[in-house]
A and B are shown apart, each in its own frame.
Chain A
C-alpha cells in the first residue's frame, strides 16, 4: 500500500515541479531535451580512468539544479532503482583491474557517471512536462502513434495507480496478515481488473472519438523557440566543448600547483 502511495506521490511531486513558473521551466522543451541527451553522451564517453574530467562535468547538473531551483535530495532518492546494478558492475573493478588504484579510479568514475546521468534526467523531467517532451519528440519526427501512446500511458498512470491502491487496500482488509497477493488470487484479481481496464479503454476510445480524435494529438499551445532558448543552448554546448575537447582542467590545475 505504502509502495503504491509513494509512487503516486512521486508522480504528483514531479507534476507540481513541472507546473512551476520558473525560468528553466519556460525554456523550450526541445532545447532541454537536446542538452540532456548531449550531456549524457558526453558523460558516458569519458574514459573510465579520467576522473579529473568527470569531476569537472559536475558543472552542468549543479548549475541546472540551481537555475531550476531543484533539490538534490530528490535526485538522490531517485537513484535507488538504478544504482544497484551500476554498483554491482563497478564494485569488482578494484579487484580485476590492472592495479587497485586504477580499479578504484574506474569505479569512482563509473559511480559518477551513474549519478550525473540520473541527475540531469531528473532535471529534465522536473522542469518539463511529459506533454512538452512529447511535443519535442514530435518536432524531431518521432512517429505520431508512439507519441500518442506515451501520452495516453502517462494520462492513465495516475488513474490506474489509484485503482491499484484501492485494490490493494480492499484486498488487505479482507486478507489481513499477508505480505502480498496470495497465489490463489493472482489470476482472478488481476484478470478482472484487466478486463475492467479493457472496457475502460473502449469507453476512452469512444469519448476520444466524440471529441474529434483522428489519430493526431492536438497541443494547446505550440511553444516557439525564443532567443533565450537559442542562447541557452549555444552557451551550454560551448561549455561542453571546452570541457571535453580542451585541457582546461589541466591548465587550471597547473596554476595551483
Chain B
C-alpha cells in the first residue's frame, strides 16, 4: 500500500502533508499532556518491534501465501491512538529511508493512508467502543479484525483517490477501485487475524498492557463480582475462545472470498453505470479520469503547481513533447554522462596519488 512519489503531484502530496502534520501536532500535544517520560522509549522500542515483525512470515492456513502483522492497529491497542500514530510516523519514515518503501514526498499521504486510519479510526471508532465494558477474547478478535479490514479498505480507497486526484493515471476510477479494494480486503482479514492472535495472547498474559479497555469495570462493586464469576468460568471460555478463533478464521476466509467475488462482479457488470451517469452529466462518456474530485483537484493543481501546463505552452500537440525537446534531452543526458565519466577519471587519479 506504500505509495511512490511518482503517483502524486505536488498539490496532492502537499495537502496530505498538511493533513498529516495537523494530526501529528494534535498527537504530540496529547502525548506531552500525558507527561509520561517512559512513553518515548516504549514508543521507540515498539516501533522497532513492528518493523521487525514485518520481516516474519505467517503461514495462512489453506493457502500457500503468507501475511504480516497490522502495525497501526497493534500499536494503538498498546499505546493509544496518539502515541501509536507518532510511532507509525517513525516506522514509515524509517521504512521509506532505509528500504525505499514509500517515497519522501508521498510520506504525508502514506502516513495518512496507513497510520491515520489505522490508529485513529481503528482505535477510537472501533476498538474503544467495543472494549468499553471490559475486554474478552471474542471482543478483541472482533475489534481487531473489523478494525484492520475497515482501516485497510479506507487506506486503499484513499490511495485510489490520491492517485486519481494527482492526474497520474488514465485508469478509470471503477477499474482502479475494483482492483485495489478486494486485494486489501484479503490482506486486511489476514492482518486482522494475526494481530488479534497476538493481542489475545497479551490479554491473557498481561491484560494491563492493552489500551482503552474496561474503564467501567472497576467502578461498581457489582461489576467486580461479575468479573470474578467471569474468572471462575474462564476455563470454559478458554475452550470457546480457542474454538472460536479457528471458526473465525474459517468464517472470515469465506466472507472475504464471497465479498471479493461480489465486489468484482459488481465492478465488472456495472462499468457502464458510471459511464452512463457521466454521459448524463457531462454529455460524453470519455472523460480522462472520472468524477468531480478529479476536476476539483485538477483546478487546484493548475493553480498551485510550480508551472501549470508548461508542456502545452508552445506546442499545439496534445503530447507537448516536441522533437527538438526530445533530442535536446538526449544531448544533455549524453553530456551529463560524459562529465560524470571525466569526474570519475579525475577522482580515481587522485586516489592513486
Contact = CB atoms under 8 A, between A and B. Distances in A.
A20 interface: no
Nearest to A66: B340
Interface stretch (B57-65, B125-133, B273-281): B57-65
Nearest to B332: A56
A31 interface: no
B5 A114 contact: yes
Interface string A56-93: 10110011011101000000001101110110111011
Interface residues of B, number: 111
A164 B57 contact: no
A148 B44 contact: yes
B55 to A, nearest CB: 5
A82 B8 CA distance: 13
A52 B328 contact: yes
A55 B58 CA distance: 42
Contact of A149 (B2, B40, B329): B40
B102 to A, nearest CB: 7
Contact of A153 (B2, B94, B171): B94
A103 B249 contact: no
B314 A191 contact: no
Contacts of B100: 78-79, 81-82, 118, 121-122
Interface string B270-305: 000000000000000000100000000000000001
Contact of B57 (A88, A181, A198, A253): A181
A63 B336 contact: yes
Contacts of A245: 307
A99 to B, nearest CB: 8
Contacts of B104: 36-37, 40, 117, 121, 124
Nearest to A134: B93
A52 B318 CA distance: 14
A120 B66 CA distance: 32
Interface string A24-53: 000000000000110011111111111111
Grouping DSSP codes into helix (H, G, I), strand (E, B) and loop, the B interface class, with mixed when no group exceeds half, is: helix
Contacts of B200: 187, 191
Chain A contact patch, size range: 35 or more
Interface stretch (B45-53, B217-225, B254-262): B45-53
A218 B201 CA distance: 38
Given A43-B5, A59-B332, A201 B322 contact: no
B52 A160 contact: yes
B202 A191 contact: yes
A251 B96 contact: no
A168 interface: yes
A56 B175 CA distance: 33
Contact of B56 (A36, A42, A62, A180): A180
Nearest to A60: B336
B37 interface: yes
Given A3-B57, A44-B9, A179-B57, A254 B87 contact: no
B248 to A, nearest CB: 11
B309 A47 contact: yes
Contact of A92 (B60, B171, B324, B330): B171
A160 B56 CA distance: 12
Interface in B1-31: 2-10, 13, 24-25, 28, 31
Contact of B197 (A82, A86, A187): A187
Given A44-B5, A101-B319, A121-B100, A56 B329 contact: yes
Nearest to A158: B48
Contacts of B167: 48
A99 B179 CA distance: 24
Contacts of B198: 186-187, 190-191, 194
Interface stretch (A202-210, A221-229, A230-238): A202-210
B214 interface: no
Contacts of A4: 55-56
B97 A133 contact: yes
A250 B328 CA distance: 6
A123 to B, nearest CB: 11
B333 A56 contact: yes
Contact of A190 (B2, B6, B53): B53
A257 to B, nearest CB: 6
10 contacts: A3-B55, A51-B326, A79-B100, A117-B6, A145-B40, A151-B44, A152-B40, A182-B59, A197-B46, A200-B45
Question: What 6 pairs between A and B have smallest CB-CB spacing?
Answer: A152-B44, A253-B328, A191-B201, A52-B325, A55-B329, A156-B48
Interface of A: 3-4, 7, 10-11, 14, 36-37, 40-56, 58-59, 62-63, 65-67, 69, 78-79, 81-83, 85-86, 88-90, 92-93, 95-99, 101-103, 105-106, 110-111, 113-114, 117-118, 121-122, 124-125, 130, 133, 143, 145-146, 148-157, 159-161, 163-164, 167-168, 178-183, 186-188, 190-195, 197-198, 200-202, 204-205, 208-209, 215, 244-245, 247-254, 256-257
